[in-house]
A and B are shown apart, each in its own frame.
Chain A
Amino acid sequence: KNQVEQSPQSLIILEGKNCTLQCNYTVSPFSNLRWYKQDTGRGPVSLTIMTFSENTKSNGRYTATLDADTKQSSLHITASQLSDSASYICVVILDNYGQNFVFGPGTRLSVLP
């Protein structure tokens, strides 16, 4: 069964601190992996996309890494801000057309002042 797991389930950090969220997957084949940010009560918004040949992709204070050998991805948030409080969802896409995909359950991040 294709699965995408994320850890931790929830995380609380203080403003200004860094944090790393994990995404492990067992799906195969693999085309690319996306991280989405979902603010409470809103729809998810794409942060990064990584193909199997990419190891690192940055988007401002967000840096995603991918290890296709161990089937692990991480999302690192630097110098967190209150607006980073959200759920972060990992999605693995199985084909180049994006027609087959598996969503992870998400990690709920709370940044406190």
Chain B
Amino acid sequence: DGGITQSPKYLFRKEGQNVTLSCEQNLNHDAMYWYRQDPGQGLRLIYYSQIVNDFQKGDIAEGYSVSREKKESFPLTVTSAQKNPTAFYLCASKRQGASERGGEQFFGPGTRLTVL
């Protein structure tokens, strides 16, 4: 059963701690993305990766870090430098290539992070 998974679904963190959110996909997609979603707001791009061992900053990368050591995995670390980390985090993956379906991003179920 192909798809994209995120864990955990809910995560609580004390202020000042780093935390890592997991994102795994078995769709054989090259590109992966991390978004942040705040209540009543649209998706904002944190980081993205077009290929293994390469990633780029999105619109709101400050306070976050990522790695892409494997094609299937794109973990996101929320560091203590992120001033307002409480949010819903979404991971997505996309097949590369110039086609009608080349633009479709497949999203995971999300992780809700709450800083106590």
Contacts and interface: CB of A to CB of B under 8 A. Distances in A.
Interface residues of B, number: 27
A34 interface: yes
A108 B41 CA distance: 10
Contacts of B43: 44, 89, 103
Interface in A40-91: 41-46, 49, 51, 89, 91
B101 interface: yes
B40 interface: yes
B102 A43 contact: no
A34 B105 CA distance: 10
B42 interface: yes
Contacts of A98: 94, 102-105
Interface of A: 31-32, 34, 41-46, 49, 51, 89, 91, 93, 96-99, 101, 103-106, 108
A30 to B, nearest CB: 11
B50 interface: yes
